[in-house]
Amino acid sequence: MRTYHVTTFGCQMNEHDSERMRGMLDSLGYEEVAEREDAALILFNTCSIREAADNRFLAHLGQAKRLKSDDPTRVVGVGGCWAQSVKEEVFRRFPFVDVAFGPGQIHRLAEFLTADSIDAHGRFLMRDAGREPECAQGAQGARAEAGRGYFEFEGFAGHLPMKRAREFQAWLQISQGCNCVCSYCIVPSTRGREQSRPPGELLAEVERLAADGVLEVTLLGQNVNAYGRDLPRDERVTFAELLRAVDAIPGIRRIRYTSPHPKDIREDVIRAHAECEALCEHIHLPLQSGSSRILKAMRRTYNRERYLDRVAQIREHVPDCALTTDIIVGFPGESEEDFQATLDVVSEVAYDSAYTFVYSPRRGTEAAELPDQVPHPVKVERMERLVALVQERARERAERFVGRAMEVLVEGPSRTDPARLRGRTTHNKTVNFDGTAEPGDIVEVEITAATSMTLNGQERLLSRVG
C-alpha cells in the first residue's frame, strides 16, 4: 500500500497547500495514514517565519531520519517556505531527504513520485532529481539544472484536487507572493513577487465550492488588498470588486480573508464589509508596532496616525467589526518609549484578539543585520506586559456580546467538553455552547458569558438559520 503522512507548519496558506498535496496524492491512489511511522512517504510542509518554526520542524525531521534508517525504502519530502529558504542546502545538511520543493512547485509533487519511483511491492524508490551536488556534473548536469529550477514559482495549485478538513469550509488562494519589503520578513524571499490569480478562475472555483456544500470561504494572500494590480488591464479587478463578486455567489454564507496590509486597505473594502451580506464582521489588520519610528525601520510605509485613521474608518462604517492584529515585540532598536507606543495603540484600539511575536532575526532579511538587537530578557518582559494588556482589552471587548443572540457556524464538539458544541461567530469568536446542532449548521446562540478568548452560550431552540 502506498501510504503517506503530511505534517504542516505555519500559516493558513501552508494548510491550504497541504490540502492540495493530499488531494493530489489521493487522486494518485495513495492513502493517508494518521501516524508518521506507518507512512511510506513522509512529507513536511514547512514554515520559516521565526526561528521557533525552524526548530520545531527540525525536531520532527530528526524523527523522520530515525524512521528512514529503520526502513530505507521510505521517502522523505520537504516542501514549503523553509525548504525554499535553504534550497539545495537541504540535501547537504540532511542527506536522507529525498525530495525538496518550494511553495511554487506543489503541482510538481506528482512528478517527483512518478510510476518509475515505485517498486514491485508498491514502495517508493528514491528519485535523483534535485540531488545536488553529485549530479551537478557529467551526464546528470541537465537534471541538476532542473533541480535548481524547482525552487522558482511555477504556477498556482488551483487546478489540483484538494482534500478539505471540513466539507463546509474552504480556502481560496487569490494570490501568491508579496511585493512588500518589510525588513523583518522572510516571506518575499520564500514566496516571491506577487502574482494574482485571474478573477474568472477564482469565481469558477468558488462556484464549484458552493455546489459542493461549502458555506464559508477564506480568501488567502500575503497582501490581499494588492490583489489584481499585476493582472492585465482587461482582467483587472480590485480586491473590493472581487469580494462583491464572491458575495454574489449563491450558497456562500460567510466570506473571510487574510491578510490585508494597513497601507493598502481602502474605503471600498471597508464599505464592502458594510454592504455585503456574507462578508464577515472581522478585519485582521496587522499593526506590528505602534511606534512610527519602528514602523519606518520595519519599512511598513504607514505610521501610527495612518493606522489609527484606518481603524476609525472601519469603526465608522462597521461599528461592531471585530479587529485582530499581529504585533512584533523587540524589533532592533525598540526602546521602552517605542514599546509604550505599541501598548498605547493596543489600549486605544482594544483588539478582539492579537497574535504577539518576539522578534526573530531571519536569514537574508534587512533587520537581521541591524545593530541594536534587543536583549532576550527585555523582549520577554515586554511580551508579558503586552499579552496582559491584550487579554484585558479583549475580555472587555467580548463583554459586548453577552446577552446577544449570535449566528454561529458549528464546527464540532467543544475542545474542553465533548458533550458541548463549538463554533464561530462572524466576528471569528469561538463559542462553546449547549445545543443539538450538527457540524455545518448555522444556528443562533444566546451568549451567556465571555472570556478574553472564547464565548459561552446556549443554542436557541428552532433557531436553525441555514
Query: Considering the rule CB under 6 A, would residue 13 count as an interface residue with ligand SF4?
Result: yes
Which stretch, 20-28, 344-352, 356-364, 449-457, contacts ligand 5AD (CB under 6 A)? 356-364
Separation between Cα atoms, residue 22 and residue 149, nearest integer Å: 23
Contact with ligand SF4 (CB under 6 A) among 3, 14, 288, 353: 14
The C-alpha angle with vertex 380 and arms to 376 and 382, in degrees rounded to 5, equals 115
From the list ligand 5AD, ligand SF4, none, partner contacted by residue 422 (C-beta under 5 to 8 A by kind): none
Beta pairing partners, 176: 195
Of the candidates 286, 290, 332, 440, which one interacts with ligand 5AD according to CB under 6 A? 286
Q: Which of the stretches 5-13, 29-37, 129-137, 317-325 binds ligand SF4 when contact is defined by CB under 6 A?
A: 5-13
Number of neighbours of residue 417 by Cβ within 10 angstroms: 11
Which range binds ligand 5AD by CB under 6 A, 206-214, 359-367, 408-416, 433-441? Answer: 359-367
Which positions from 376 through 435 interact with ligand 5AD, judged by CB under 6 A? none
| Residue 107 cell numbers, joined | 503541482
Between 192 and 286, CB nearer to ligand 5AD = 286
81 binds ligand SF4 (CB under 6 A): yes
Q: Which of 13, 21, 49, 226 binds ligand 5AD (CB under 6 A)?
A: 49
**DSSP H or E segment with residue 76:** strand 75-80
- 328, interface contact from ligand 5AD, ligand SF4, none, CB < 5-8 Å by kind: ligand 5AD
Count of beta carbons in the 10 Å neighbourhood of residue 299 = 14
Smallest Cα–Cα separation from 188: which of 153, 154, 157, 150? 153
CB-based contact 314:283 (threshold 8 Å) = yes
Choose between 187 and 217: whose C-beta lies nearer to ligand SF4.
Answer: 187
Residue 111 makes CB contacts below 8 A (sequence gap 6+) with none
Distance in angstroms (rounded) separating the CA atoms of residues 78 and 90: 9
Long-range contacts from 335-339, C-beta under 8 angstroms, 24+ separation: 337/291, 338/289, 338/291, 338/293, 338/294, 339/291, 339/382, 339/386
Q: Is 50 in the site for ligand 5AD (CB under 6 A)?
A: yes
Query: Quick one: which segment of 25-33, 67-75, 241-249, 352-360 binds ligand 5AD (CB under 6 A)?
Result: 352-360
Distance CA 309, CA 316 (A): 10
Q: What is the per-residue binding string for ligand 5AD in 155-184, x denoting contact by CB under 6 A?
A: -----------------------------x
Number of residues that bind ligand SF4 (CB under 6 A): 13
**Distance in Å, CB of 163 to ligand SF4, minimum:** 19
From candidates 164, 357, 378, 454, binder to ligand 5AD by CB under 6 A: 357
Binding segment for ligand SF4 (CB under 6 A), chosen from 41-49, 87-95, 289-297, 389-397, is 41-49
Question: For 428-432, which contacts have Cβ atoms below 8 Å and span 24 or more sequence positions?
Answer: 428/256, 428/280, 428/282, 428/322, 428/324, 428/352, 429/322, 429/352, 429/398, 429/401, 429/454, 429/455, 430/454, 430/455, 431/406, 431/455, 431/456, 431/457, 432/456, 432/457
Tell me which of 36, 107, 191, 300 binds ligand SF4, using CB under 6 A: 191
Confirm or reject binding of residue 11 to ligand SF4 (CB under 6 A).
Answer: yes
Contact 101, 79 (CB under 8 A): yes
CA nearest 130: which of 193, 75, 178, 176? Answer: 75
> Which CB atom, from 117 or from 365, has the smaller least distance to ligand 5AD?
365
Question: In the complex, what is the shortest distance from the CB of residue 355 to ligand 5AD, in angstroms, rounded to a whole number?
Answer: 7
180 binds ligand SF4 (CB under 6 A): no
Say which residues have a Cβ less than 8 Å from residue 273's Cβ, sequence separation at least 6: 279, 281, 283, 314, 317, 318, 321
Q: Which residue is nearest to ligand 5AD (CB)?
A: 326
438-457 residues in contact with ligand 5AD (CB under 6 A) are none
Name the residue number minimizing CB distance to ligand SF4.
10
The option from ligand 5AD, ligand SF4, none interacting with 286 (CB < 5 to 8 A, set by class) reads ligand 5AD
Q: Which amino acid is at 61?
A: L
The rounded distance, in Å, linking the Cα atoms of 342 and 325 is: 12
Say which entry of ligand 5AD, ligand SF4, none residue 97 contacts (CB below 5 to 8 A, set by partner kind). Answer: none
Residue 359 sits in the site that holds ligand 5AD (CB under 6 A): yes
Q: Tell me how far the alpha carbon of residue 465 is from its chain's centroid.
A: 29
Q: Are strands 353-358 and 405-413 parallel, antiparallel or unpaired?
A: unpaired
Count of all residues that appear for the chain in the document: 466
With respect to ligand 5AD, which residue has the nearer C-beta, 24 or 285?
285
Q: Which residues bind ligand 5AD (CB under 6 A)?
A: 49-50, 184-185, 286, 288, 326, 328, 357, 359-360, 362
Q: Which residues bind ligand SF4 (CB under 6 A)?
A: 10-11, 13-14, 47-49, 80-81, 186-187, 190-191
